[in-house]
Amino acid sequence: MQVRIRADRLSRKNSINSILIGMLTGALLFGPGCQTDTAKMREQTSIRSAQLSNGQNNAIVRSRKKDLMVPLGDFESSRSMENGSLGTLAATEGGSDLEKMSKWDTAMADLFGLPGVAWDDAKVVAKNPTNLVILGLAGGASIWGEFDFDNRVDEKLGGWKIINKDWTIAVGTSGSPATHFALSLALYTHGLLTENATTYDFGKTLTQALVLTGITTVGLKLAAWNHSPNGELFGWPSGHTSSTITVASVVHQYYGFWPAVPLYTLTGLVMYERMITGEHWASDVIFGAALGLVIGHSVASGRQPQFMGMDIVPYVDPYRGATGIGLVKTW
**What confidence tens digit (pLDDT) does each residue in 15-61 have?**
555 555 555 445 444 443 333 344 444 444 333 333 333 333 333 33
Report residue 304 CA to chain centroid gap: 15
pLDDT at 102 over 50: yes
Q: Give the rounded percent of residues in the chain with a pLDDT score beyond 70.
A: 60
Residue 141 maps to a domain: yes
Q: CB neighbours (10 Å) of residue 1?
A: 3
Please tell me whether the peptide bond between 237 and the residue prior to it is cis, using omega within 30 degrees of 0. Answer: yes
Say if residue 83's pLDDT is above 60.
no
71, with CB counted inside 10 A (0-12, 13-18, 19+), is exposed
Contact at 8 Å (CB) between 290 and 128? no
Task: State which amino acid sits at residue 167.
Answer: W
Instruction: Report the C-alpha gap between 291 and 193 in whole angstroms.
Output: 32
Whether 147 is in a domain gets the answer yes
| Tally of domains in the chain | 1
Identify whether 44 is part of a domain.
no
Strand residues in 21-157 grouped as ranges (E): 47-53, 56-62, 67-71, 89-91, 98-100
Q: Which residue type, as a one-letter code, is found at position 208?
A: Q
Q: Taking residues 129-144, report their average pLDDT.
A: 95
Within a domain: 69: no
Judge whether 2 lies within some domain. no
In a domain, 197, yes or no: yes
Q: Output 104 or 327, whichever has higher pLDDT.
A: 104
Model confidence at 165, pLDDT cuts 50, 70, 90, reads: confident
Instruction: Write out pLDDT tens, residues 175-195.
Output: 999 999 999 999 999 999 999
| pLDDT, mean over the chain | 75
pLDDT tens digits along 194-245: 999 999 999 999 999 999 999 999 999 999 998 899 888 889 999 999 999 9
Range of the domain at 221: 9-37+112-306
Highest mean pLDDT among 39-43, 97-101, 298-302: 298-302
Quickly list DSSP for 36-70.
--HHHHS---SEEEEEEETTEEEEEEE-SS-EEEE
Interval 240-268: pLDDT, tens: 999 999 999 999 999 999 999 999 999 99
Other residues' Cβ atoms within 10 Å of the Cβ of residue 170 = 13
| Dihedral over Cα of 116, 43, 109, 255: its sign | positive
* CB environment 112-143: b (16+ within 10 A), e (fewer): eeeeebbebbbbbbbbbeebbebbeebbebbb
* 59: β partners: 50, 70
Res 139: pLDDT = 95
User: What own/partner pairs with CB < 8 Å and gap ≥ 24 does 2-10 have?
Assistant: 2/229, 2/230, 2/278, 3/230, 3/231, 4/154, 4/229, 4/230, 4/231, 4/278, 5/227, 5/229, 5/231, 6/150, 6/151, 7/227, 8/226, 8/227, 9/146, 9/147
Identity of the amino acid at 290: A
Tell me whether residue 275 is in a domain. Answer: yes
Could you tell me if 6 and 151 are in contact, meaning their C-beta atoms sit under 8 angstroms apart?
yes
Angle among Cα 25, 142, 269 to the nearest 5 degrees reads 120
Q: What is the C-alpha R_g of the chain?
A: 23
CA distance readout (Å), 296 to 135, 207, 328: 13, 10, 24
Task: Using alpha carbons, select from 83, 35, 29, 34 the residue that is nearest to residue 311.
Answer: 83
151, part of any domain: yes
Q: What global pTM score does this model have?
A: 0.69
Per-residue pLDDT, 327: 67
> Which of 48-57, 161-170, 306-315 is most confident?
161-170
